[in-house]
Amino acid sequence: KAGVTQTPRYLIKTRGQQVTLSCSPISGHRSVSWYQQTPGQGLQFLFEYFSETQRNKGNFPGRFSGRQFSNSRSEMNVSTLELGDSALYLCASSRPQTSGILIDTQYFGPGTRLTVL
């Protein structure tokens, strides 16, 4: 079974631009989560999508947004890029239970390394 794929793997942008990152989850997985990893803040949760709806959101400004398509593929968008947005953006998919405690294993992709100049 193919793992989580993310495109592109590397990206260089300048301040003020916007960027769109893509994530294809493992086949059959309906939940996609996004995380930002920086040396200073570590791994931080951005948001989670399930059945095309944002279900959970982390503490990030509105410049960070996302969406999920009917085939469970997800995109995240960052507008008006700032230098501090330089990070590794990780996508994770899971097949969460529809009820009860949500403790399904998260499967991570290799990430997209975004550099903002």
Q: Are 25 and 84 in contact (CB under 8 A)?
A: no
How far, CA to CA in Å, does 9 sit from each of 93, 97, 101, 109? 17, 30, 33, 10
Does 114 bind other proteins (CB under 8 A)? Our answer is no
Per-residue binding string, other proteins, 54-73, x by CB under 8 A, is -xx-x---------------
Q: List the one residue from 21, 24, 25, 35 that touches other proteins (CB under 8 A).
A: 35
Q: How many CB atoms lie within 10 A of CB 13?
A: 16
Q: Which residues bind other proteins (CB under 8 A)?
A: 4, 31, 33, 35, 42-45, 48, 50, 55-56, 58, 90, 92, 94, 96, 101-111
